[in-house]
Amino acid sequence: MLKVYDIRQFIQKSKKLNQIVCFGAGKRLKMLNDFFANTEVCDKIICIIDNDVKKQNSKVSIGKREIEIISLDELKHRNYSEYLIIITCTQYREVVKQLDEDQTLQMVDYCCLDHMYLLKRGDEELQRAIQKKIPSDLKVFREMKIPKVIHYCWFGRKPIPDKYQVWMESWRKYCPDYEIIEWNEDNYDISKNVYMHQAYENKKWGFVPDYARLDIIYNYGGIYLDTDVELVQNMDELLYQNGFAGFEDDKFVNLGLGFGAIKGLPIIKHMMDIYKDKKFVNEDGSLNLTASPYLQTQVLRKYGLHPDGEYQIIEGMSIYPEKMLSGKSWITRRVALQPYTRSIHHFEGSWLEETDRYKAEQIDKEMILYKPDDSFEDI
């Protein structure tokens, strides 16, 4: 059965077992020494499974030991008792499927080194993020500047998925007195910008709002939210300034997290201007899939943004640290709210290619199995 452990949990689990089996004899296997230095984990490895027959019946070095590589069938013939499998290959989902479908391994637990790596990175990212300072008073002015209007875009004429509607219902819950406006093909001219129109013609719906949301906020003012944004607090305090946006990590500002501004804020116009001569379809017919945070951050850096994830005001727009508008880790896709967090961006990735979006969806499902507690009795 698949388990999702962090490094500490795996070490604790391994203390109860005398035998560990690795599945995968490639580059991932070499990470074991770094992950489990100064522990007994590597000493308990009894063999390595690999589906590549060219690698079988050979050996690989782990620490100071030479460990044999065998097939899965050979492992089952040896009748080892009470062992744990750690999947040490990049294509771990194929291995999980293989183990899931093997009826003789129903009582064997297996976990993935990639999950431990993700959780390690996610924890490091969280620790960095929560060190960023948030102003005790979010109000820059005494008077409310940004109107109580939430704008969102929905192009393609398909029904809004149920899970999106659940997240959007949070807008009404926490901002009940805000006007909410949907922009679509019927009330917005997508032909006003070549990049946007080409994205629409190619049915790349996630790229169409990259220009549209800037245009809408510049001309009307208010807050823009992607449909995969869930509010967890009221947004009123953020309205007492000329504009706001947020980092998605230490380097990039992402307007898809949600942003707001007064009508006619110049920095919004500067971000719009980068799309004047930009094409979504390249001369060779390929698509320009550059993510919008890269483009927006380029403009903000031109006007003085420091790509360090810290709170700063650029041309009248407050740029907040990650956890203000992004309560979900883009690495582990787990929610970790702070007292000041206003929203969760669920990173649905409508702009991603299908294979990348599938991987993100799988991580969502896999991380449900992770139980981040301090008690290991039931692991």
Do 160 and 237 fall within a single domain? yes
Is residue 67 one of the residues assigned to a domain? yes
Check: CB of residue 14 under 8 Å from CB of residue 121: no
Do 88 and 164 fall within a single domain? no
Amino acid at 89: C
Is residue 359 one of the residues assigned to a domain? no
What's the pLDDT at 377? 47
CATH number at residue 81: 3.40.50.20
| Residue 87 CB contacts under 8 Å (≥ 6 apart), including other chains | 22, 23, 24, 95, 96, 110, 111, 112, 113, 114
Secondary structure of residue 306 in the 3-state scheme: coil
Check: CB of residue 73 under 8 Å from CB of residue 67: no
Is residue 356 one of the residues assigned to a domain? no
Do 283 and 142 fall within a single domain? yes
Is residue 355 one of the residues assigned to a domain? no
| Residue 100 CB contacts under 8 Å (≥ 6 apart), including other chains | 2
**End-to-end alpha carbon distance in the chain:** 12
Q: Classify 285 in phi/psi space as left (phi over 0), alpha (psi -120 to 50) or beta.
A: left
Do 271 and 161 fall within a single domain? yes
Is residue 167 one of the residues assigned to a domain? yes
Phi, psi of 16 (to 5 degrees): -90, -10
Distance CA 239, CA 170 (A): 18
Full domain range(s) for residue 152: 133-348
Do 83 and 229 fall within a single domain? no
Distance CA 120, CA 100 (A): 26
User: For strand 45-49 and strand 229-231, is the pairing parallel, antiparallel, or unpaired?
Assistant: unpaired
Do 205 and 142 fall within a single domain? yes
What's the pLDDT at 18? 82
Domain boundary among the residues 96, 126, 156 is at: 126
Distance CA 254, CA 252 (A): 6
Distance CA 180, CA 152 (A): 8
Do 166 and 295 fall within a single domain? yes
What's the pLDDT at 379? 42
Is residue 235 one of the residues assigned to a domain? yes
Residue 205 CA: distances (Å) to CA of 155, 197, 209, 317, 319: 6, 10, 8, 27, 26
Closest to 116 (Cα-Cα) out of 100, 98, 132, 92? 92
| Residue 113 CB contacts under 8 Å (≥ 6 apart), including other chains | 28, 31, 32, 35, 86, 87, 88, 92
- pLDDT tens, residue order, the chain (379 aa): 899 999 889 888 888 888 999 999 988 888 888 888 778 888 899 999 999 999 999 998 887 889 999 999 999 888 787 889 999 998 888 999 999 998 888 888 999 999 999 999 989 988 999 999 999 999 999 999 999 999 999 999 999 999 999 999 999 999 999 999 999 999 999 999 999 999 999 999 999 999 999 999 999 999 999 999 999 999 999 999 999 999 999 999 999 999 999 999 999 999 999 999 999 999 999 999 999 999 999 999 999 999 999 999 999 999 999 999 999 888 888 888 999 999 999 987 655 556 666 677 787 788 887 887 644 444 4
Check: CB of residue 205 under 8 Å from CB of residue 357: no
Give me the number of domains the chain comprises. Answer: 2
Distance CA 131, CA 17 (A): 38
List the alpha helices (DSSP H) in the chain: 7-15, 32-35, 72-78, 92-100, 113-129, 162-174, 194-201, 209-220, 266-273, 292-302, 322-325, 354-367
Do 112 and 191 fall within a single domain? no
Check: CB of residue 140 under 8 Å from CB of residue 241: yes
User: For strand 312-314 and strand 317-320, is the pairing parallel, antiparallel, or unpaired?
Assistant: antiparallel
Is residue 113 one of the residues assigned to a domain? yes
Check: CB of residue 67 under 8 Å from CB of residue 48: yes
Is residue 182 one of the residues assigned to a domain? yes
Domain boundary among the residues 71, 99, 126 is at: 126
Do 118 and 157 fall within a single domain? no
What's the pLDDT at 162? 95
Give me 296's structure tokens: 């927006």
Check: CB of residue 242 under 8 Å from CB of residue 259: no
Do 194 and 322 fall within a single domain? yes
Check: CB of residue 255 under 8 Å from CB of residue 326: no
CATH number at residue 247: 3.90.550
What's the pLDDT at 61? 87
| Per-position DSSP letters for 41-65, written without gaps between them | TGGGEEEEE-S-TTTTT-EEEETTE
Do 120 and 199 fall within a single domain? no
Distance CA 166, CA 68 (A): 51
Do 120 and 137 fall within a single domain? no
